[in-house]
Amino acid sequence: MSKLPTLQSLLVQEVKDLYNAETQLVKALPKMAKAATDEGLRDGFKKHLEETKGHVERLEKVAEMLGVSPKGKVCKAMKGLVEEGGEAIEEEGDPAVKDLALIGAAQRVEHYEIAGYGAARALAEALSLENVVELLQATLDEEGATDHALTGLAEQIIPQAARETAHA
């Protein structure tokens, strides 16, 4: 168990958690892209993989600014979310329904990240670390945009899935 005597130490823990979460995602997103049948979803996962690599780099910069290593913490929440995504990948059934399961898994990931980046950004703001705030906000904006895009894809796929499975 680590001690959190200051806002700075809590921010460091948040950054380490986010760093591990993002590195887990770098490994998981190619599998999700491969499992997706909808071309837009597949492309979205590939695009977010590249963004996620950028998130890792930003967190490395944040850690450097804080004078710490970003490594050293396992994000148990992301581990569980990635496992759930793996379950969605393994599901059998209608391709559109499976794509919707993948979207649901991906949105749970995005919501976790939005919460984490929001908390870290708030701590950085309280500590008047403007450069850190800017980096965290840039990633927070991208995570929100990804979540929004996933919602749009789901709204396109749901009617198709409903038609295909209505007679099943």
Confidence grade of residue 164 (pLDDT, cut at 50, 70, 90) = confident
Which of 105, 98, 96 is CA-nearest to residue 147?
105
Q: What is the pLDDT of residues 100-143, one digit of tens each?
A: 999 999 999 999 999 999 999 999 999 999 999 999 999 999 99
Q: What is the pLDDT of residues 50-95, one digit of tens each?
A: 999 999 999 999 999 999 999 999 999 999 999 999 999 998 889 9
Assign 37 to helix, strand or coil.
Answer: coil
Give every CB contact of residue 85 below 8 A, 6+ residues apart in sequence.
Answer: 28, 31, 32, 102, 105, 106, 109
Question: Distance between CA atoms of 141 and 134, rounded to whole angstroms?
Answer: 10
Domain boundaries defined on the chain: 7-165
Confidence grade of residue 163 (pLDDT, cut at 50, 70, 90) = confident
Confidence grade of residue 166 (pLDDT, cut at 50, 70, 90) = confident
Candidates 3.40.30.10, 1.20.1260.10, 3.30.70.100, 3.50.50.60; CATH matching 7-165: 1.20.1260.10
Task: Show the DSSP H helices in 6-129 as ranges.
Answer: 7-35, 39-66, 76-90, 95-126
